[in-house]
Structure 1
C-alpha cells in the first residue's frame, strides 16, 4: 500500500486516504468483488482509479452518461493518467483509434456505457488485458433504485465471461432493498459491501412549505443574492418551469440558464458547458442534470419542487459541497407537488414501494425532527444527536421525554417477531378488535392495548418519528415490516432516552402554511490573459482568494476546461490558509500532485508572492 499512497500523492495530490478507501483498494488488488456505497464527494472514483493506475492492463469503467465519462476522462488526463471513453457520439475513426490503444495496453481506464459495453463484450473486451471492472452509478441496476436503467440488468454477463477479474460496483445512494437487488443482479463472487458514512455535515438543510409561485421566486432571488458569485443548481419537476424560472432570475440580474431533455442537443450541451465553465452562476434544470457533473464548486442546491424519494433528494443535494466546504440546500414543498407525484406513482407500475418512498419524503418535509437524522436513519446509519445545521435544529420545536411511548411500540414490534407493519402495530397498541389481530394471537401480547390513551393519528405521527430518529426501520423486502435497530434497542432496554416532538393535530394538517418554513466546451477562442488585480480589502486572505480565482479562471479559459479541474475550491482555500511561497510548500497543498505541481506550481507561487508583496523568485 505504500506504493499506492505514493501514487495517491503523485497523481491526485492527497497524502492520506479517506475512510474505507484503502480497504476497498486492497480488496480490488486481491482480485475480490465489492459493493461500495459512498456519498457524493466521498471519494468513490479514487477507489478504482488508483488500482487501475497501479495494476497492469486496462480498467473498464461502466458509466451511464456521456457527460459523466467526459468529465472523468478530462480530470484524469489533467492529472497525467491515460484515460479514454467510447461513446455513440464519436466519429468511427476515433472509436477505432481508442480501441487499438486499449488492445495495445496504452489506456489505463476506459469509460463505456452499458449499451456500448454489450456491443463490445464479444470483440473488444476479450482482446484487452482487463485489470478490473468498475460499475459506476450502480443503483441504475436495481428496479428499486431512483434511476433504473434496463441496460444495466445485462451486466451479470461480465462475471460469467471474466470470472477472475475483480468487479467493484459503486453508488452514492441505495437503501437496503436496492443494495440486495444490485448484488443479485450482478451475480458477484462472495462480495463485500462497504458503506461509508452518509453524513454530509457541510450541507445545511432547509425546507419551506406552502409558498406560492410568486413567493418561491422572491425567496430564490433573495437566497441567491445573499450568495453572489456562487455556483448553484435549481431543480424543477417540469421542463417549462426551468425556462420560466431562468427567465425570471435573469430579469433580476442573476445569470441563469435552463437545462432539460427537451432542448435541442446542441443547446443542451452548450447550457451544460456554460455552467461547468462558470459563464453562468445558476442552472435551472430537471433532475437529468448533474449526474454526470463532477463540479466541485457548487455551493448550493434548491429544489423548486419536492423530489419523489429520499434517494433522489439525497443524490441531488449531494451535488453541492463536493469539496467539503460549507454549502446550502433549500427545498420548497407544496400540496400541488404531492398530488402530481402521487399521480406519477400510480402510473409507475411499482405503486407499493414507490408510494411508501414518497410518503417518507413527505414526512421528511413535514417533520419536526432533525432532518440530518432522518436522512442518516433512512440509509441505515445511526445518529444519537441532532445536527445543529438544519432548519429544525436552528428553530427547535417543543419536545418531551417519549421514552416510555417508544418502548411500548418497540416492545410490541419485538413480541410479534418483527412481522408487522405500521398499521398493524398501531392497531395492537390501541387494542383493536380486528379479526386479523385475533387470528395471529396478537391480542394475547403483553403490549396489546398498551397505547389506548393515544389516537390512531397520534400513534402514526410518533411511529414515523421513531423511523426518522433511527429507532426502527422498514424492511421493504419482507412486506414492509418493522424491525428494531440497534439504536432502538438502546431505548427499549433503558440505555438511551428518546426525545419526541410534541404533536398537535390542529398544527399538523395539510394546509402547508409558512409556519413550516423555519426561517422564512465551445470552439477555442483566441486567449488573451488579463492582468490579475487583487481586490482592495483589509483582509489579505480575501484579496488572495480573489486573485487565485482570477488566475484559475484564466488558466481554465486558456486550456478550455472547467475551472474546478485546474484546482478545486478546497485547494484554493488551502492555499489561502497555508500561503505557500516556494514550490516545496506548494507541493503540500491539497490536490497538488506531481503533474499539477510541474504545470501550475510556478505561476501560482508567483501570484501568492505578488499578493503578499514578497520578492520574485527565479525558478
Structure 2
C-alpha cells in the first residue's frame, strides 16, 4: 500500500509539471529504477520521451542530478523548457558570462538546484569539480544524455568522455557515508558493441536495460544514387518541391556544406536558413523558434540540430550527404513522423565507384585517413608518457596527450584511478581503430543493401526480428527491389 501511495505521488507530480495523466511504456519503469538509485542503460527511439525519465526523478529528490550533454544547443533547449516551468534547473558551459557561472555554482553549493546540465569537459574543469566534490553538496545521480557520443567521440574527439567512469567512485569517497549515486545512460541509438562500451566505460553496476526498437511503420526510407553534383541538387529539388509546405529538415555534413546549400536553395526561391554549431546562441535560438513555429518550413543543418528539440509533425528528412555512421543516420531520420503520421526520408549518395563522382568516397577516405593519423600519432606519444600521472600535468608537457590517454583506455591498457589520475598497464592492446572502420563499413553496407532497409537496421542494432518481418513494405527496396 505504501509503495502504491508513493507511486501515485510520482504520477501526481508528473501530471502537475507536464500535464500528462500517465507514462508511456517503459517511462514508468525507468523512473522507478532511478528513484531506487539503480544504474540503467536506456535505448529509446528519438521522440520516445527520454528526458522526462531522468528529469522527474531528479525533481522529486533533494540534492542534485548531473546531466552530461554533448551540445550547448541541447542543454539550452532542455534547461529553457524546465526554467519556463519554474523548475530548479541550470546549465554551465564555456559560452556563459563568468558572473552567470559563479551564480550557478553558488546555487550548487547551497543545494538549491535539482538538475545541472554540463559537458564532460565542463564537469571535469577545476572550478566546477571543486564545487561538485564538496562534502555538503548532495549528488544523487549522473545522467549521460546522448550516450552514443561517448562511443562516437570518446577516443579521439572528446577524450573527457573516457574519464566519466571514475567520477562516481571518487565522489563517494568525498561524500557522507551512505551516499548513493545512480548512473544512467540514455540514447536513441546503440548497437550491441556500443552498449557494451557504454556499460564498461561508465562502470555501470548491474544496470537495468531498457532497449526499444527504433522501427517506425509510418516512416519510409529511400536512397538515391547520383552521378554529378548537379544531379545531387536536382534530386534534392525533386524531393522537396512537392513538400515545400510541409515541415522538414535537410542534413549536410559540415558547416560549410550547410552554408553553401542554404545559399543555393535561397537562389532557387526556397525560404530556408543554415544551422550549425558555429552560430551564436541567440542566432540558433531564433532559427529553432522560427522552425518550431513554422515561420521557416525547413532548415539546412548539421547533426547539431534536432537533439532535444521537440517537434512531432516533421514530415520529411533529406540527407544531402549520407552520415558516416548508422547511429547518426537513425538519429536523424528518426526526427520525422514522431506523431505517427506518414513521413519520408531520403538520402542522396554519389555513385559508389567514385569514378564519375568521387565526392562521397573522398569524404569517407579523408575521415579514415584522419583517424589513422590520430591513432598513429597517439601510439608514438604513448611511448613517451609516464606510466602514472596527472592529466593536467601531462597535458602541459605533451600535445594531444589527452587523446593518447583516451586511446590507451579504449585499448584496455589504462585505468583511471580518479577522473584526473591515470595508470598505464602492460596489457595487449585491443584494436579500437578496427571498430571505427567497422562502423563506417556498416553504413556503406546499408546504403548498398538489397534487403529491406528496416530489416537491415533492426539487425544492425541487435533486435531479433519476428519471422513475419521479411519486408517492411515502406522502403525503396521493398517497393522496388531492383532499383538503386
TM-score above 0.5, yes or no? yes
Match of 1:156 among 162, 165, 188: 165
Q: Which string of whole-angstrom CA distances, capped at 9 and with x for unpartnered residues, describes residues 35-85 of structure 1?
A: 111121112111111111222222221111111111001222333423211
2:131 is matched with 123
Are residues 152 and 294 of structure 1, via their aligned partners in 2, closer, same or farther at CA, if it must alter by over 3 Å?
farther
Q: 1:300–1:327: 8 Å Cα contact kept in structure 2?
A: yes
Tell me how far apart the structure 1 counterparts of residues 339 and 78 of structure 2 sit (CA, whole Å): 16
1:99 is matched with 105
Q: 1:301–1:317: 8 Å Cα contact kept in structure 2?
A: yes
Aligned Cα root-mean-square deviation (Å): 2.6
Matched, 1:390 2:475: yes
Q: 2:73–2:304: 8 Å Cα contact kept in structure 1?
A: no
Map 1:210-609 → 2, pairs under 5 A: 210-260=226-276, 271=287, 274-276=290-292, 278-291=294-307, 293-334=309-350, 335=352, 336=358, 337-349=360-372, 351-384=433-466, 385=469, 386-396=471-481, 515-516=483-484
Q: 2:69–2:119: 8 Å Cα contact kept in structure 1?
A: yes
Q: 2:64–2:113: 8 Å Cα contact kept in structure 1?
A: yes
2:78 is matched with 72
2:429 is matched with none
**Per-residue deviation at 1:345?**
1.5
Q: Tell me, which stretches of 5 or more residues in structure 1 are unaligned? A: 398-514, 517-619
Are residues 105 and 321 of structure 1, via their aligned partners in 2, closer, same or farther at CA, if it must alter by over 3 Å?
farther
Q: 1:259–1:286: 8 Å Cα contact kept in structure 2?
A: yes
TM-score scaled to structure 1, two decimals? 0.60
2:185 is matched with 169
Are residues 6 and 387 of structure 1, via their aligned partners in 2, closer, same or farther at CA, if it must alter by over 3 Å?
farther
Tell me how far apart the structure 2 counterparts of residues 264 and 28 of structure 1 sit (CA, whole Å): 35
Q: Which string of whole-angstrom CA distances, capped at 9 and with x for unpartnered residues, describes residues 90-137 of structure 1?
A: 222222222233333332211122122112223234342223221111
2:4 is matched with none
**Per-residue deviation at 1:189?**
2.4
2:196 is matched with 180
Tell me how far apart the structure 1 counterparts of residues 475 and 11 of structure 2 sit (CA, whole Å): 36
Q: Which string of whole-angstrom CA distances, capped at 9 and with x for unpartnered residues, describes residues 541-587 of structure 1?
A: xxxxxxxxxxxxxxxxxxxxxxxxxxxxxxxxxxxxxxxxxxxxxxx
Q: Tell me, which stretches of 5 or more residues in structure 2 are unaligned? A: 1-6, 173-179, 353-357, 373-431
TM-score scaled to structure 2, two decimals? 0.75
Are residues 331 and 80 of structure 1, via their aligned partners in 2, closer, same or farther at CA, if it must alter by over 3 Å?
same
Q: 1:260–1:285: 8 Å Cα contact kept in structure 2?
A: yes
Matched residues, number:
399
Secondary structure of the residue aligned to 1:226 is: helix
**Per-residue deviation at 1:195?**
1.0
2:93 is matched with 87
Are residues 104 and 123 of structure 1, via their aligned partners in 2, closer, same or farther at CA, if it must alter by over 3 Å?
closer
Q: 2:153–2:159: 8 Å Cα contact kept in structure 1?
A: no
Tell me how far apart the structure 2 counterparts of residues 371 and 63 of structure 1 sit (CA, whole Å): 30
Q: Which string of whole-angstrom CA distances, capped at 9 and with x for unpartnered residues, describes residues 157-195 of structure 1?
A: 321134421111111111222211111111222222221
